[in-house]
Amino acid sequence: MESKKSEEFYKKLKVQLADTSSWPSNYLYKFIVPTDESKIKQIQDIFDNTGAVIESKQSKKGTYTSISVTVNLHSPDAVIAKYKEVGKVEGVISL
Q: What is the dihedral of CA 47, 49, 55, 60, to 10 degrees?
A: 50
Beta carbons within 8 Å of 84's beta carbon, 6+ residues apart: 10
Summarised one tens digit per residue, pLDDT across range 80-92 is 999 999 999 999 9
| pLDDT tens digits, 2-59 | 455 588 888 999 999 999 889 999 999 999 999 999 999 999 999 998 999 999 999 9
Task: Report pTM.
Answer: 0.88
